[in-house]
Amino acid sequence: MVKQVKGASAEKTTRAGKSEKIPRAQEPKPAVEGAGKRICIICQQEKDGYAVRNDIFIAAIRGIKQTLGIATNNVLVVCNDCASEHRKRRSGFEKTLLQYGVFGAIIGILLLAISLSLSGLLMAAFMVLFMLALAVIHYHPASEAQDKGVNAK
Ligand SMILES: [Zn+2]
């Protein structure tokens, strides 16, 4: 992932100038983050595919990379070959997030019930956050592949 960006100076001009001229009607995929390569998030190859939806995690990762100066400005996609694998991972993550969230909430409520105090409340909130943070390890982004209900061939 940590690749040297070669055309760092050239990309600024394309973003400001030419991107406006592309007719929107013929481009169904949203042109996310300007002109980067379209990289599949599963096989890491440069391929066309379904756009990955921007969410808080992707925004955060992008923000960190930009701060560190290692942003690649690639457009993240899921290619056709990886669509079914992607959906498997995504639904797995959603399940994990739900389970950990519920589990954290139950433990939090128990902690709160045992000690009805401010520190109990803080512990409860901490438990929920901790469990959600654990779930994020399994993070996998959403994409347009799910909306369209793409059939795995
Ligand atoms: Zn792929």
pTM over 0.85: no
Q: Cβ-count burial of 134 within 10 angstroms (0-12 exposed, 13-18 middle, 19+ buried)? A: middle
Domain limits, the chain? 11-147
What is the C-alpha to C-alpha distance for residues 43 and 132, in angstroms, rounded to an integer?
27
What is the C-alpha to C-alpha distance for residues 39 and 52, in angstroms, rounded to an integer?
10
Distance (angstroms) between ligand 1 centre and the Cα of 47 equals: 7
Distance (angstroms) between ligand 1 centre and the Cα of 38 equals: 11
Give ∠ CA 11-12-17 in degrees, rounded to 5: 105
Distance (angstroms) between ligand 1 centre and the Cα of 39 equals: 8
Distance (angstroms) between ligand 1 centre and the Cα of 49 equals: 8
What is the C-alpha to C-alpha distance for residues 59 and 61, in angstroms, rounded to an integer?
6
pLDDT in tens, 63-108: 999 999 988 888 899 999 999 999 999 999 999 989 998 988 888 8
| Average pLDDT for the chain | 77
